Amino acid sequence: MKRTLGRTAITAALATLPGWKFRRDALEKTFKFAGFPDALAFMLRAGFEAEAMNHHPDWRNCYNRVVVRLNTHDAGGAVTGKDVELARRIDQC
């Protein structure tokens, strides 16, 4: 099982991740784009980052918005350092 982060560590990580929030046991952020093609391109770039880490987000897309939720399934659905790292990488997409 992966090492989970406590509330203090999550709060500290969120201070370095603009726009991310801790909701329902996951890191979550909504990204908004000019339209569907931009949202889809973002999902493709973020998907390659997730695949490189072998750590895949729960996400949904509706036209120009992408909601990303990150937690670690093999850590019982808790937030781990992998989630923080993937959030950082996604922000660069």
Domain segments of the chain as ranges: 7-91
Which H helix or E strand runs over 61? Answer: strand 58-62
Each residue's pLDDT tens digit, 12-26: 999 999 999 999 999
Nearest to 69 by CA among 90, 45, 42: 90
- Average pLDDT of the residues in 29-44: 98
Token pair, residue 90, equals 């996604």
Residue range 7-91 forms a domain whose CATH class is: alpha beta
Token pair, residue 64, equals 């120009």
Block residue for tokens 């997730």: 50
Nearest to 80 by CA among 29, 33, 27: 27
| Average pLDDT of every residue of the chain | 96
Each residue's pLDDT tens digit, 38-61: 999 999 999 999 999 999 999 999
The pTM of the full predicted model, rounded to 2 decimals, is: 0.94
